[in-house]
Structure 1
C-alpha cells in the first residue's frame, strides 16, 4: 500500500502521477469529442453534397470537414497540457506547435473556401470563364500560403522583418530580370478582371483569327481557322487591338455597283429602289440607304448599306448571295450592263498607232 501511495505521490517533471492521469484523460476525451464532431460534420456535408441544390450551410460544412487528423491530435494534446505544470520552455514549445498547427489548418480552410466559392461562381455565371477563375484561384492560394509561411516562421522565432526587407530588395532584382514574365502575369490578371474575352470567344488579333481555348498565367491559346494552335503572350495580346467577333451584335454591309454610262436615265432612277426592295425582302435586316453616289470616269456608281441584325456570318453571306443573284437577274432582264474600268494602251508600230482596251470587273464589298 505504501508503495502505491509513493507511486501516486511521486512527481514526474513537477507533476504527480494523478495529474498526469487527469491530463491524459482530458486529452483523450478532447480527442474523441473532436473526432466525433469531425465525423458528424463530414456525414452532414456528404448528405448535402449528394443533393443538386446548394444549401446555405454546405460551404461552411465543406470547409470544416477538411479538418486534418494532425490538427485534432495537436489540439487535444494542447488542451490536456493545460492541466499540468510544465517548464516554461516546454509550455512555449507546445504553444508554438499548437499555433503553427492552427495557422496551417486555417490556411487549408481558407484555400478550400476560396476554391469552393470560385467553383460555385463558375457554375452560376459562365462556364467559359473557367480559365479566369483558375487564375484568381492561383493568386488567392499563393497569397494565403505566403501569409501562413510568414506566420509560421515568426512563431519559430525567425525575424521576418529582415527577411521581408531582403525579399523586397531581391524582389526588385527579380522583377527587373523577369519583367516580361511579370508583364504577362499582370496582363493575365487584367484579362481576368476586365474580361475583354473568355474561353470560347472568336478573336481577330492583327493578322490572326482563332477561338480562345485557354487563358493561362503567361499566355493565351487560340485555335485558328486552319486548325493550328496560336500561342500569344498575354502582354502582347492586351497591347494589341483585339476584335471580339463573338460579341458582335450586328453586321454592317456595303454593296457597291457600277453600271455602264450608256444606261438610260429611267433605268438609273429604278436601280436604288430595286436594290432597296431586294434588301428589305430579307430578315433579319435593317435597311439604311441606297443611292446613286458618283459619276465615275467610265461608270455610274451606286452604293447601298444595310445592317444584318445577327452575328451569324453564314446567315450574312446567304443574304448577300441572294441579293447579288437576284440583282444580276434583274439587270439581265432590264438589259442593264455592269461597267468595268478600262485601261487604254497605245502601241506604236510601223503601220501607225493602235489602241487596245483592258477591262477589270469591280467587286462588291462588305464590312
Structure 2
C-alpha cells in the first residue's frame, strides 16, 4: 500500500515536467512548420499588396519575405524555449522568482560586459528593418564578399566563390555593397589597337549587344550603352559598354558578351593588342679611326 502511494506521488511529481517537455517539443515543431506558412501568408499580404510589380521586384520582395520569415521563426522559438524552461523549473518546485531576479541582475551585468553582442543585435535589427540585404543576395560586408546564406540578429553567414564559409558579426556591418539589389550592371572594357577603326569597333560592339539582348531578353533590362573611348593606354585604346541586367545576371551577361565580342572582332579584323613597346635605336656617327672605350 505504501509502495503504491509513493508510486502515485512519484508519478504525479514527474507528470507535469514530462508533459511540459512534450508540449514544448510539439510546439517547437509546430512553430517551424505551421507558423512558417502562416507568417509567409501574412507577410505576402503586406509585401505583395501592390499588384503592378515587375518580375524583378517580385523576386526581390520574395527574398525579403523569406528572410523575415526565417528570422521571426528563430526569435519565436527562442521565446518559446525560455517560457518552457521557466514552466519546467516551476513544475519541479523551484521558485522561479528569485531565478528571474537573478537572471535580471545577471543580464544587466552581462549587457554591460557584452557590448559587442548588443551591437550585433542592434545592427542586425537595423539591417533587416531597412532591407539592406536578404538571403540570396551577393554582398560585400566588412571587406568580405559572398552570397548571403543565412542571416540572424547576431551574425550574417556568407559563402564566397572559393566555397569558404564566412561568418560576419552584425556589429561589423558598416558599409554594405549589394551587387544584386533591384538591378545589376555589367561593365565591359576592351582595348583595341591604335591602328584600328574606332567607329567600326564601336559599331561591332553595338551589334553584339543587340544580338545578346535578343537571345536573353529576361536577363538584359535595357539597351546597351556603348559609351565610346574611355581612356588611352600605352598599348591600346580602351572602349567601354554598360549593360543593365536583372539582379545577379551581370556576371553571366558579361562573360557571354566578351566571348561574342572577341569572335566578332576576329571576323572584322579588329585587333585586341597585348602590351608592347617600340624601341628606336639611333646610330651615332663615328669616324673610322674613333674607338669606343667600353
Category of TM-score, reference length = shorter chain: 0.5 to 0.7
Residues of 2 paired with 1:272 and 1:305: CA distance?
Answer: 13
- The answer (yes or no) to whether the contact 2:227–2:240 under 8 Å persists in 1 is yes
Cα distance, 1:138–1:192 mapped onto 2, change above 3 Å: farther
Structure 1 counterpart of 2:248: 311
Q: How far off is 1:241 after superposition?
A: 1.9
Q: Using CA pairs under 8 Å that are at least 6 residues apart, name the structure with larger relative contact order, 1 or 2.
A: 2
RMSD: 4.9
Residues of 2 paired with 1:223 and 1:123: CA distance?
Answer: 27
* Structure 1 residue 172 corresponds to structure 2 residue 84: no
Structure 2 counterpart of 1:230: 166
Match for 1:326 among 243, 264, 268? 264
- Unaligned runs of 5+ residues in structure 1 are 1-68, 75-100, 353-367
Q: How far off is 1:174 after superposition?
A: 1.5
Cα distance, 1:224–1:157 mapped onto 2, change above 3 Å: closer
Cα displacement string for residues 163-218 of structure 1 (whole angstroms, at most 9, x for unaligned residues):
766654433221122223343345555566666322x5544435434344444564
Cα distance, 1:123–1:166 mapped onto 2, change above 3 Å: closer
Cα distance, 1:143–1:192 mapped onto 2, change above 3 Å: farther
Structure 2 counterpart of 1:272: 202
- Unaligned runs of 5+ residues in structure 2 are 1-10, 41-61, 287-294
Residues of 1 paired with 2:129 and 2:87: CA distance?
Answer: 26
Residues of 2 paired with 1:174 and 1:214: CA distance?
Answer: 26
Cα displacement string for residues 103-130 of structure 1 (whole angstroms, at most 9, x for unaligned residues):
x989986885575245224347479658
- The answer (yes or no) to whether the contact 1:132–1:192 under 8 Å persists in 2 is no
* Structure 1 residue 116 corresponds to structure 2 residue 30: yes
Residues of 1 paired with 2:247 and 2:70: CA distance?
Answer: 28
Q: TM-score, normalised by structure 2?
A: 0.56
Residues of 2 paired with 1:324 and 1:201: CA distance?
Answer: 31
Residues of 2 paired with 1:295 and 1:230: CA distance?
Answer: 37
Which structure 2 residues correspond to residues 237-316 of structure 1 after superposition, within 5 A? 238-243=173-178, 245=180, 249-260=183-194, 262=195, 267-283=197-213, 284=216, 285=220, 286-293=222-229, 296=232, 301-309=238-246, 311-312=248-249, 313-316=251-254
Q: TM-score, normalised by structure 1?
A: 0.47
Structure 2 counterpart of 1:141: 80
Q: Residue 248 of structure 2 aligns to a residue in which SS?
A: coil
Work out which of the two has the higher radius of gyration on C-alpha atoms and give 1 or 2. Answer: 1
Q: Residue 304 of structure 1 aligns to a residue in which SS?
A: strand
Q: How far off is 1:226 after superposition?
A: 2.1
Cα displacement string for residues 43-64 of structure 1 (whole angstroms, at most 9, x for unaligned residues):
xxxxxxxxxxxxxxxxxxxxxx
- The answer (yes or no) to whether the contact 2:156–2:170 under 8 Å persists in 1 is yes
Q: How far off is 1:275 after superposition?
A: 2.0
Q: Residue 235 of structure 1 aligns to a residue in which SS?
A: helix
Structure 2 counterpart of 1:197: 134
Cα displacement string for residues 271-325 of structure 1 (whole angstroms, at most 9, x for unaligned residues):
3333212211112343243344468487655433332346333344123211232
- The answer (yes or no) to whether the contact 1:292–1:300 under 8 Å persists in 2 is no
